[in-house]
Chains A and B, each alone.
Chain A
Amino acid sequence: MPRVEVPFGPYHPALGEPEYFKVVLEGEKIVSVDFELGYNYREIEKKAAMFTWPKALVLLGRICGICSSAHTQAFAYSVEKINGIEIPNRAKYIRTIGAELERLHSHLLWFGLQGDQAGFDTLFMHAWGAREHALNMLEIMAGKRIHYNYMIIGGVHRDIPPTIANQMKKELIELTKKYETTKEIFLSNEVMIDRLKIAKLTTEKAREFGVVGPVARGSGIKMDARKDFPYSAYEELDFKIPIQKGGDAYARSLVRLDEMNESILMLNQLLSNLPKGKISKQGLFLKSKEGEKTTVIEAPRGENFHFVIAGKNTPKFVRVRPPTFANLSAIPHMMKGLSLSDVPLVISSIDPCFACTDRVIVMDLNSKTIKEVEM
């Protein structure tokens, strides 16, 4: 049978961001897949080296609008490790609240988009309706819906007084109600569940590709940076890591659903046990010691890795390895043998964030051409 190349993107209604997938078909069956990124490449790592420390923190948050807190947190922890700053306990709790709220809104966003791409618009609207409560909580806490820069090096810059904590608890109750209805809508729809039993990734294959986050946990690998390398207030919290052994898109959905439940329970613990004390140890952080450190943070999509080399007034070098980069390599394997109509669902099942992933342009000196690759 003749092979047909179908371009999927860079501007495709199923994808929120520009990215390009080349799908080779034999009849209806997918034979091979290739992807090309770099549409969102904004030279952030280079530009961070030209900014002072407080400005670099803001810039690093702008890597991604969805996991902005994960990137700022990882960068802030790296710099604090270099300078030997131990942040106050209250600041740790507030950082954890931000991170968990981010996980909630990111998972609800993905939940809706997956429904949308399967043609299940009711789920999309319900999930995004629930997400607004998480954004409300972030707005009450940090002053902004997206790009909530509540972090500074050495702590956080906005406190959560009891009145605001109470408001957030009220919003959390509303969110929990809406989350339950959304979950019921999803789990009671057999068509949707059957549609998601595709894109199988066995445990061995998942290890081979080195996938992280909910994709790895959906394939039965127990890994979570919150338990493996505890940071912020996760040591003092009581939570479970949901694991499914199915390995298909449905298993990944269940993992994310359970994670949302854990996040809600964690937020309840955090908001009622906020310790007393200062929220930050120092004023504006301008001068740093020289050194280098790495940090691993569990972002909503998996582990987020930051490597920082510090100069005196600016970072000398920043390297980010976002979770989507690890997960993306499994996509060609997952798509093989499926039909073209499954492509959006498979892509959305790893919850990709291409704004995080576009990091590097490589120049080939021998042929003098610019090759743009993702790293």
Chain B
Amino acid sequence: MNKSPWCYLISQGTCNGCELEVFASFTPRYDAERAGMKLVPSPRHADIVLVTGCGTKKGSIQSKRVLEQIPDPKVIIQIGACALNGGIFKCKGPRIEGEIRLEGCPPRPSEIIEAIKKGAKLCSSKR
């Protein structure tokens, strides 16, 4: 798990900015896959959860249900200002709380990769 963390993206209702940067970190310029990271389509395969979005009324309920399907041990990374405190939209909805917090609107792909690296270490220490 330290070598090859598998990530899953949950968006709780966003403007798409953070999702774009997460996808961009897995494409040729930044290419997180050469460091063993992978974006997986199923929540049941994930070690690391990337959470974006401000927690809208409908989005926060559904995203919690998805989070429950992810097996332990897992590390949650909050990406972007919205996921940290509601951001510019000041959404009040319940948001998923995480171990690693990443600021920015949106953060750069290089920062996201750094955060995933940190998360991988944390995740292997949890086992």
19 interchain pairs, CB-CB under 8 A: A11-B66, A17-B14, A38-B58, A39-B13, A42-B91, A43-B91, A44-B89, A47-B89, A47-B90, A62-B88, A62-B105, A65-B17, A68-B17, A109-B20, A124-B27, A125-B27, A132-B27, A146-B17, A147-B17
Complex: chain B residue closest to A44, CB-CB: B89
| Residue pair A66, B13 in contact (C-beta under 8 Å) | no
* Chain A contacts to B: CB under 8 angstroms: 10-11, 13, 16-18, 38-44, 47, 58-59, 62-66, 68, 109, 112, 124-125, 128-129, 131-132, 135, 145-147, 353, 355, 361, 372
Which residues on A sit within 8 Å (CB–CB) of B106? 65, 146-147
Which residues on B sit within 8 Å (CB–CB) of A62? 15, 17, 88-89, 105
Which residues on A sit within 8 Å (CB–CB) of B23? 16, 128
The bracket for how many chain B residues form the interface is 35 or more
Partner of A39, one of B15, B19, B59: B59
| Residue pair A39, B16 in contact (C-beta under 8 Å) | no
Q: How would you classify the secondary structure of chain A's contact residues: helix, strand, loop or mixed?
A: loop
Which residues on A sit within 8 Å (CB–CB) of B10? 11
Which residues on A sit within 8 Å (CB–CB) of B18? 65
Q: Do A43 and B15 form a contact, CB below 8 Å, given A16-B23, A38-B58?
A: no
Complex: chain A residue closest to B29, CB-CB: A132
| Residue pair B24, A132 in contact (C-beta under 8 Å) | yes
B57 within 8 A of A: yes
| Residue pair A11, B27 in contact (C-beta under 8 Å) | no
Partner of A10, one of B21, B54, B62, B88: B62
Complex: chain B residue closest to A105, CB-CB: B20
| Residue pair B58, A146 in contact (C-beta under 8 Å) | no
**In the docked arrangement, what's the CA distance between A169 and B116, Å?**
34
**In the docked arrangement, what's the CA distance between A146 and B13, Å?**
17
**Residue from A42, A58, A361 with most neighbouring chain B CB atoms (10 Å):** A42
Partner of A42, one of B11, B42, B54: B54
Q: Do A41 and B16 form a contact, CB below 8 Å, given A62-B89, A129-B28, A146-B106?
A: no
Instruction: Encode B93-127 as 1/0 by CB contact (under 8 A) with A.
Output: 00000000000011010000000000000000000
Which residues on B sit within 8 Å (CB–CB) of A112? 27
Which residues on A sit within 8 Å (CB–CB) of B63? 11, 18
Which residues on A sit within 8 Å (CB–CB) of B59? 10, 18, 39-40
| Residue pair A146, B28 in contact (C-beta under 8 Å) | no
Which residues on A sit within 8 Å (CB–CB) of B71? none
- Give min CB distance, A48 to chain B, whole Å: 11
Which residues on B sit within 8 Å (CB–CB) of A65? 14-20, 106
| Residue pair B62, A355 in contact (C-beta under 8 Å) | no
B56 within 8 A of A: yes
Q: Do A41 and B56 form a contact, CB below 8 Å, given A11-B62, A59-B88?
A: yes
| Residue pair A64, B15 in contact (C-beta under 8 Å) | yes
Partner of A17, one of B11, B43, B91, B105: B11
**In the docked arrangement, what's the CA distance between A41 and B15, Å?**
10
**In the docked arrangement, what's the CA distance between A128 and B105, Å?**
21
B41 within 8 A of A: yes
Complex: chain B residue closest to A130, CB-CB: B28
